[in-house]
Copies of this chain bind each other. A is one copy, B any other.
Amino acid sequence: MDFSLSDEQVLLRDSAERFVREEYKLDARRRLVAAGDPISAEHWRQYAELGWLALPIPEDVGGLGGSFVDLMVLMVALGSGCVLEPYIPNLVLCAPILDRSPARSLLGAVADGSLRLALAHDEAGDRFNLAGPRTTQATAAGDGFLLTGAKTLVLGGPSADRFIVSATITGEPACSLFLVHRDQVEDQVEQALSRYPLIDGTWAADLSLSVEVSADALIVRSDRATALLDEAIDRATLAYLAEAVGSMETCLEICSAYLKIRKQFGQAIGKFQALQHILAEMFVEAQEARSILYQALSQIGADASLRRRAVSAAKIVIGQASQIISRQGVQLHGGYGVTDEYPISHHFKRLMVIEKLFGDIEHHTTRFAGTAPGLQAPDSSPAA
């Protein structure tokens, strides 16, 4: 086993850390959020220039063919800045689906930053059960389909040019995936796209669909769509968890620095043993978070059941670590912790978003238990 980074990975990490230093100082981040723009075009251009948009895309369609470990290195570094760009919705959630579809030639445009994607999959009543049947319908219409339904929490939706929409073709047991132009969506219904910020300053949208699309909009048929979605969502989940690890490690630095600077009762508050012990516990949590991330990375290419188990374990451990670190991080800051003017509150909200996206601790505990050896239905083997 070897946990060291390759030279290329070190360069990648350094470039991302430099980006965060230069573009994501607290004031800059606050200005970006206040601007109310669902994406910074300038930043997206930099993502493209730095090769990050090409990173996970196959070489034959204009990408760099990076590994998932490469992606993790990037996400940990970007997590330290709580970046706002919809990198994961585009590159981890959508790109791999496109890659295994007739539309994969579009990936070149994704890699150069000229095309942005979003996955429109969540529906009302899902509560994390993203593998359930879709109420959005695809009915035959002319040579193509009429898509009707409503989608919510479309991450990166407000800045997407095209949507990958999941919908059930009449008579089929599972959903299929359709590639739909944003214009098509917006042209056909008033306020078809309703956008809103999330608490961390990133953006999502609800889609109200009543769209006629041509036959070639169908990019993944129901026989493959659910497994493909499942994999894409697991990989996106893990990428977010890598961000969370970067964010948490940064929280430790922020808090440690604050404890040394802030004075009360005539001394640096870092002299108080009770606060030292809180920081020490946060350290343990952060260490365990990175460890379980590696564990999940080791299984991300494995069979679906092993992959699901590994990602759920990471979601549990990192979710619990996030809660402890972000809550105690605010507590260590006293009143300043609940202002927007100190970075800890930004990490707090980013970590809360990651904790809940694609299944919370509760959801993944249930999923993990379902695959844990020794928690299956009873057998007749002797125990203890």
When distances are taken between beta carbons in the complex, the residues of chain B under 8 Å from A273 are 272-274
User: In the assembly, how many copies of this chain are there?
Assistant: 2
A327 at interface (Cβ–Cβ under 8 A)? no
A277 at interface (Cβ–Cβ under 8 A)? yes
- What's the interface size class on A, roughly? under 10
Q: Residues on A close to B: CB < 8 A?
A: 272-274, 276-277
When distances are taken between beta carbons in the complex, the residues of chain B under 8 Å from A276 are 274
Q: How far is the CB of A271 from chain B (nearest CB, A)?
A: 10
When distances are taken between beta carbons in the complex, the residues of chain B under 8 Å from A272 are 273
When distances are taken between beta carbons in the complex, the residues of chain B under 8 Å from A274 are 273-274, 276-277
Complex CA distance for A127 and B272, rounded to whole angstroms = 46
6 contacts between A and B (CB under 8 A): A272-B273, A273-B273, A273-B274, A274-B274, A274-B276, A274-B277
Top-6 shortest CB links A-B: A273-B273, A273-B274, A274-B277, A274-B274, A272-B273, A274-B276
Question: Residue of B at shortest CB range from A271?
Answer: B273
Q: How far is the CB of A279 from chain B (nearest CB, A)?
A: 12
Complex CA distance for A274 and B273, rounded to whole angstroms = 6
Q: How far is the CB of A328 from chain B (nearest CB, A)?
A: 13
Q: How far is the CB of A267 from chain B (nearest CB, A)?
A: 12
Complex CA distance for A272 and B273, rounded to whole angstroms = 7
Complex CA distance for A272 and B272, rounded to whole angstroms = 9
Complex CA distance for A256 and B273, rounded to whole angstroms = 19
Complex CA distance for A273 and B277, rounded to whole angstroms = 10
